[in-house]
C-alpha cells in the first residue's frame, strides 16, 4: 500500500479523481468485481477501477489497492466523465492528451447509456459529437507532435 491510497475516501468522485491523476483509471481490476450498482441496484461486473453501470450509467470507482472487495466501491456520479470534458478548448499538449483520455472515457460512458435494442437519437447525437471531437483532438495532437521538434518523441 502506498501513500495517498489509504482507502479512506468520502466519495467515489474522490477515488475517480485520484486514480485518474495517477493514470490508473483504465487499469483492469485483477479479479473482476461483481457489484450491485449503488444507484439503480442493477448487478454488473467492474473490469476497470473506474467503470460505468450499463443500466443507469452511474460511474463507479475503486482504488487499485482496494479493488479486491466490493465494499470499497463508491459511486462517482452519473456524468462524471462528461463533466470533465466541459470547458473550453485546450492548447498545451499535456492538456490535450488529458482531454483525449477523458473523451475516450466519456465515449464509453455515453455508449453505456445506449439501449441495446433501440437507438435513442439524443444519446446517439451526443456520442457522435464526442467521437468527432475525439478524432479532431487526436489529429491536433499528432500535428502538434510532428510540427514541434522541441517536444521529445516517446
Ligand atoms: Zn446502475
Query: What are the pLDDT digits (tens) for 4-57?
Result: 555 578 899 999 999 988 888 889 999 999 999 999 999 999 999 999 998 888
Domain with 121, as residue range(s), is: 81-147
Pull the grid cell for residue 144: 502538434
Whether 52 maps to a domain, the answer reads: yes
Please tell me whether residues 41 and 99 are part of one structural domain. no
Q: Which residues surround ligand 1, an ion (CB under 5 A)?
A: 37, 39-40, 42, 53, 55-56, 58
CA of 139 to the centre of ligand 1 (A): 34
Contact 107, 131 (CB under 8 A): yes
Please tell me whether residues 66 and 87 are part of one structural domain. no
Please tell me whether residues 87 and 63 are part of one structural domain. no
pLDDT in tens, 57-110: 899 999 988 888 899 999 999 989 888 888 766 788 888 988 998 999 999 888
Count up the domains in the chain and report the number. Answer: 2
Pull the grid cell for residue 28: 483492469
Pull the grid cell for residue 124: 446517439
Q: What is the pTM of this model?
A: 0.76
CA of 152 to the centre of ligand 1 (A): 43
User: What are the φ/ψ torsions at residue 106 (nearest 5 degrees)?
Assistant: -65, -35
Phi-psi region of 125 (alpha: psi -120 to 50; beta: other; left: phi over 0): alpha
Please tell me whether residues 87 and 72 are part of one structural domain. no
Amino acid at each position: 500500500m502506498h501513500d495517498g491510497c489509504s482507502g479512506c475516501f468520502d466519495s467515489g468522485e474522490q477515488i475517480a479523481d485520484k486514480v485518474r491523476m495517477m493514470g490508473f483509471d483504465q487499469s483492469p481490476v485483477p479479479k473482476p468485481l461483481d457489484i450491485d450498482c449503488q444507484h439503480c441496484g442493477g448487478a454488473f461486473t467492474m473490469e476497470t477501477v473506474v467503470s460505468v453501470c450499463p443500466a443507469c450509467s452511474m460511474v463507479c470507482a475503486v482504488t487499485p489497492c482496494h479493488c479486491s472487495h466490493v465494499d470499497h466501491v463508491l459511486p462517482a456520479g452519473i456524468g462524471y466523465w462528461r463533466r470533465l470534458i466541459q470547458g473550453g478548448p485546450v492548447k498545451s499538449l499535456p492538456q490535450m492528451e488529458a482531454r483525449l483520455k477523458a473523451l475516450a472515457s466519456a465515449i464509453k460512458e455515453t455508449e453505456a447509456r445506449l439501449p441495446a435494442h433501440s437507438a435513442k437519437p439524443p444519446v446517439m447525437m451526443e456520442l457522435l459529437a464526442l467521437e468527432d471531437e475525439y478524432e479532431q483532438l487526436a489529429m491536433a495532437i499528432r500535428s502538434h507532435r510532428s510540427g514541434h521538434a522541441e517536444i521529445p518523441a516517446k
